[in-house]
Structure 1
């Protein structure tokens, strides 16, 4: 039996509105260790965006390496393969790889070449079962940059598709062709960190990866000889190409748009069907949007918070994150201050606050000439565009007082 666990997009070190997520990451990594043991996993594939930024803190790095040590201690013989994503510090991630490799941990921060070809001694990694017998191989391909693409130069034109897609396709085709003889008939898998066309993106969560102006490549760039392709970057767990190409998704919501996702990891069993199984990872901290959709006035937000009946003694690191969407029934500065004061009275953490600007964003008529308007009319219009509502008598009175002193 050969079992492979596919995960990605941990984003260790991420913060929401200044609040760290260390408790959630610790809980996820502990739960991941349990899955590795319970499911008798032979290989762990981590498909990029391990860290949230290119300068991870010492604590973030300790969290990663403590987790790796736990995985290896609890599941001796486990092979771990990690690739860098677009968020990761490629060189720093790969720096301890010479030591980690002795422990069965392979880290690829960038694409390595041996002359004109990709160095398969680095990128083609055997995956062994509990007895140490090779049962499969994986082509570990980190986040690609323009310089990684064979024969590509700026301004090139592709034949029926963009030159970047043609170059990415050629890169993978060449790697697979060179890897197949080495694989000796064993299943060949691949790892990548990019956007495949047809994948569902998370609004406000994932940076659009642009390689030479291209945002996505078709899943068909992965040759049919590949048994399974473990991808990272998109945070929703989803299949492409009939499930042969898959995103495992993020371990928990990283933005408001991910609240409804079924977060988890993917178990790939090479010896039995179905080819893979999604394993949900229960959240440690609740992530809420109030209201669930659209916008609501502040008093309805307060009612919703009271209905949660939260424990006031909940430690800060375990308090729910709330994303608030408000109807602009008063000036934005006043509304923001009152919302923040309200949330301070509840055991929650404000992840984001949005005020409906649709009224202010409507196309405006051309401004009137100074001969056809008055200062007060201009004040009314500016107030309306800023706050999405008309000024009341107190605002007009303050404006008139200020104007009289000019």
Structure 2
């Protein structure tokens, strides 16, 4: 049985206010093509379908249309669990209708595993699905535990117990798979995993993942990686798109798992080409060097984080002109001579909103813009850039 593992789609996610809907469309086309070419018997989606509990309508439409294609109109099972970004009830609201199309959605943790027939296979696919297990979704409070290490141990034991109960009746004649959306100790995260639960107390050990399975499909971390010390093979498939510049240089992928009853799983990573890469420019030669790169159309299909060496803070006119000329430039981080000499200076991203704040302070003699004014400015910048791009 060939299983395609993916996770962390984050439909509706933007980057510095820029819409990424077209990139998600390209990803779903590629994912469906991979499922066809690799002859996937089923698809495992390990959480964070959407980026928020109230996703945009066009994002929901893209999801349902893409699932119809991915399931091959009901011939290929698609199993989905909710992540921490998903609204569990909203995600699962259409589960009764979708189940008729061989699409299974689990919104909240349940002790009812799935046993799914797969076309052309004599065996069943048994799934122990554990959607994002927060305290509220588990309907259990750990608030009385003030010590983080104690909380982590108790939480890990709870997750281990949940998995044991889900898998206790699994038959060795079935293909046995676990799925969850959680943080496993030792996993390598990125800046784009925003929730505070990444790391922290809500962490499980690799040894607390289920052992009565042949593979555990994980979601939550955006970097593809295997889990060490798990009792059975376990892996994060990673996100299909790069969501922060901390992911620069990392290949995005999905995971193919080939498994038969009572045999070890064979795991293959399949790289993705959809989605714009995130790249960093370091312009030691100042604005002239940037303009040369623009003329060369360097990284014309990428999102760009620009670090530029300058003598003075760029005016908003310069910033706006540059971003208008090259819409892929998302952030501009000026580096000044005095900060280069100060080794204790910690360089940070200076995004467009921070540049606006600096400009406003210079023009007003030290006053700071309020949140509403900054928001309106960003809306105007993005609106004009979108109009120019049409």
Question: Contact (CA 8 Å) 1:229, 1:246: kept in 2 or not?
Answer: yes
Task: Summarize the Cα distance change of 1:211–1:257 in structure 2 as closer, same or farther, 3 Å threshold.
Answer: closer
Which of 251, 262, 270 lines up with 2:251 in the alignment? 262
Which residue does the alignment assign to 1:236? 223
- CA positional deviation for 1:285: 3.0
- Partner of 1:221 in structure 2? 208
DSSP-derived class of the 1:351 partner: strand
Alignment partner of 2:5: what SS?
strand
**Pair 1:209–1:183, CA change in 2 (3 A):** farther
Q: How does 1:272-351 map to 2 (within 5 A)?
A: 275-291=266-282, 297-308=286-297, 319-331=301-313, 334=315, 337-346=317-326, 348-351=327-330
Shift of the alpha carbon at 1:19?
2.0
Using a 3 Å threshold, how does the CA distance of structure 1 residues 295 and 15 change in structure 2: closer, same or farther?
farther
Structure-1 separation of matches of 2:299 and 2:36: 34
User: 1:136 touches 1:183 (CA, 8 Å); kept in 2?
Assistant: no
Quote the offset at 1:298 in angstroms: 3.0
Equivalenced residue count is 344
Cα-Cα RMSD: 3.3
Contact kept? 2:149, 2:201, Cα under 8 Å: no
Q: Which 5+ residue runs of structure 2 have no aligned equivalent?
A: 346-356, 366-390
The whole-number CA distance in structure 2 between the counterparts of 1:189 and 1:199 is: 20
- How many angstroms apart in 1 are the aligned matches of 2:258 and 2:344? 55
1:353 maps to 332
| Native 8 Å contact 1:47 1:82 kept in 2 | yes
Measure the CA separation in 2 of the matches of 1:178 and 1:201.
27
CA positional deviation for 1:299 = 2.9
Q: 1:149 to 1:345 in 2, by over 3 A?
A: closer
Determine the C-alpha separation between the residues in 2 that align with 1:33 and 1:230.
19
Cα deviation, residue 133, structure 1:
3.6
Name the counterpart of 1:82: 80
With normalisation by structure 1, the TM-score equals 0.75
**Would you say 1:173 and 2:161 are equivalent positions?**
yes
Gaps of 5+ in 1: 113-117, 312-318, 365-385, 388-394, 400-406
Q: 1:286 to 1:167 in 2, by over 3 A?
A: closer
1: CA distance between counterparts of 2:139 and 2:299? 56
Cα distance between partner residues in 2 of 1:163 and 1:87: 23
* Cα distance change of structure 1 residues 170 and 273 upon mapping to structure 2, 3 Å threshold: closer
Q: 1:227-271, CA deviations, whole angstroms, 9 ceiling, x for partnerless residues?
A: 211111111111112681211011121121212111010000004
Contact 1:194–1:209 under 8 Å retained in 2: no
Report the alpha carbon displacement of residue 88 of structure 1 after superposing the two structures with TM: 1.3
1:274, CA displacement in angstroms? 6.3
Partners of 2:323 and 2:45 lie apart in 1 by 37
